[in-house]
Structure 1
Amino acid sequence: MEFWLGASFADTGEYTGLARAADRLGYDVVTVSDHLFWADYETPYPYTRTGTPPYSQDTHWPDPWVTIGAMSSVTERVRFATNVYIPPVRDLFTVAKAVSTAAALSGDRAILGVGVGWCKDEFLQTGQDFHTRGRRLDEMIPALRTLWQGGTVEHHGPFYDFGPLSITPVPAEPVPVYIGGDSDAALRRAARVGDGWIGNRIYSEEQLEALLARLTGFLAEHGRTLDDLAVIAPIGALPTADLYRKWADRGVQGTLSAPWWLATPEEKAAHPDPLALKIATMERFAEKVIAKM
């Protein structure tokens, strides 16, 4: 079982400290998320009942690939992922160059977690078509993989048409592409082209059971099984080694958590500094869960 640290909503200055702690404590991956700006969005947030985002104007959204580059420079082992990055709100070459640079600088420790995006406001500001975002992402993924091969390459499709050309730097190893989201479209995309799948909410064990059944069915349509896809699922249950062993046996490769969301009153009293509190809860999780796996 891999343990992914969900570092979304952290202040920008905390990321290198969190990365150092994750590297030291045995976490496998540190994740960062992606938004271009804050506004009074016209698009309802899809993951709350009210449609209101669970963050404010003051929430930090540092550029994911700059942040990954900074974290990789102070660590040796831990990997980094976006959970998730929205490629179709950007042009193809901006995405290709940012990801390949972060992968090269980190020594191939970067994972590209992608989604189609929910915020139409961001697409309007960048001039990208919101309504074709799924089809463009479907074409973008193989086009990105082609660009990251190195050398002179070309691609000719309905949305992206380029080459012969080359970009540098490129990663020494293929960048894993993980698909985020639990809609049928997202799960089908993961089954068709993904190296992995990342859950975008906390799942009860019953919900996770049903989700794995859906994903297994979509994978079978492409001659694949759960053994062919790295499944990363946040699990809404008391974190224990036994819990994660159980789900590892059922095909879940990793889980994602932010231990500070379960900080005890004693921990909060002992660590008034926000970064110190986060690291203290990471240490507790590492001792009680990761070390026992």
Structure 2
Amino acid sequence: MEFWLGAAFVDTPEYVGLAQAADRLGYDALAISDHIFYTDFDARYPYTDTGAPPYRPDTHWPDVWVTIAAMAAVTERVRFATNVYVAPARDLFTVAKAVSTAAVLSGDRAILGVGVGWCKDEFLQTGQDFHTRGKRLDEMLPALRTLWKGGLVEHHGAFYDFGPLSIAPVPAEPVPVYIGGDSDAALRRTARVGDGWIGNRIYSEEQLGALLDRLSGFLAEEGRTLDDVKVIAPIGALPSADLYRKWADRGVAGTMAAPWWLATPEEKAAHGDGLALKIATMERFAAEVIAKM
């Protein structure tokens, strides 16, 4: 079982310290979330009853690839993922260059967690078509993999048409692509082209079981099984080694946690509510859970 640190809603100066702690404590990856801006959104957020997103105008959303490069510079082992990067809100070459550069600077420790996005407002401001975002992502992913091979390459499709051309630098190893989202379309995309699936919200055990059944069905249609993809699932239950062993047996390759969400009153009193508290709770989680796995 892999243990990923879910580092959304974190103030930007804390990321480097979190990455160093994750590297030291045995976490496998640190995942950072993506948004471009905040506004009075016309789009409805899909994961709350009210349709309002669970963040404020002053919530930090640093550029994910710049942040990954900064964290990679002060670590040696831990990997870095996006959960998730809204790739179709950008043009193909912006995505290709940013991901490729971060992968090279991190020593091939970057993971592209990618989704279609929900926020139409962001697409309007970046000049990308919101309504074709799924189809464009389906074409974008093989085009990205072609570009990351290096050398003169070309692609001719419905939305992207280029080449022969090359970009540099390119990673020494293929960038793993994890698909985010739990719609049928997202799970089918995982089954077709994903190296993994990454959950971007917390799932109850009942919800997770149903999701794995759906994903298994779509994988079977593609001649694949859960053994062919890495499922990274945040689980809405009290952390324990027994909990994660159970879900590893069900085909879940890893989970995601933000231990400071479960900080005790004593930890809060001793460390406040900033980076020191986050690291203290990460240390406790590592001792009580990771070390026992």
Q: Equivalences for 1:63-142 in 2 at 5 Å?
A: 63-142=63-142
**Superimposed CA distance per residue, residues 3-51 of structure 1 (whole angstroms, 9 cap, x where no aligned partner):** 0000111000000000000000000000101100010000011100001
> TM-score normalised to the size of structure 1?
0.99
Amino acid at match of 1:19: A
* Residue pairs, 1:8-47, within 5 angstroms: 8-47=8-47
- State the AA in 2 paired with 1:200: N
Name the amino acid aligned to 1:53.
P
1:159-190 deviations in whole A, cap 9, x for unaligned? 00000000000000000000000000000000
Separation in structure 1 between the aligned mates of residue 115 and residue 210 of structure 2, nearest angstrom: 21
- 272-281 or 211-220, which deviates more: 272-281
Runs of 4+ in 1 over 2 A off after TM superposition: none
| Distance in 2, Cα, partners of 1:17 & 1:68 | 12
Q: What is the alpha-carbon distance in structure 2 between the residues aligned to residue 31 and residue 11 of structure 1?
A: 14
Structure 2 segments unaligned to the other structure (5+ residues): none
The answer to whether the aligner puts 1:278 opposite 2:278 as a matched pair is yes
Q: How does 1:174-213 map to 2 (within 5 A)?
A: 174-213=174-213
Letter in structure 2 aligned against 1:217? G
Counterpart secondary structure, 2:287? helix
Secondary structure of 1:66's counterpart equals helix
The count of corresponding residues between Structure 1 and Structure 2 is: 293
Distance 2:202 2:101 in 1: 31
User: How far is 1:201 from its partner?
Assistant: 1.3
Counting only pairs closer than 5 Å after superposition, residues 177-256 of structure 1 correspond to structure 2 as 177-256=177-256
Cα distance in 1 between the residues matched to 2:34 and 2:94: 15
TM-score by length of 2: 0.99
Structure 1 gaps, min length 5:
none
The residue identity in structure 1 corresponding to 2:119 is C
Aligned AA for 2:139? E
Q: Matched residue of 2:167: which SS?
A: coil
Q: CA deviation at 1:72?
A: 0.1
Deviation sequence 1:258-281 (CA, Å, 0-9, x none): 000000100000001500000000
Quick one: distance in 2 between partners of 1:218 and 1:242?
28
What is the letter of the counterpart of residue 123 of structure 1?
A: F
Q: Distance in 1 between matches of 2:38 and 2:206?
A: 34
- SS of the equivalent of 1:45 reads coil
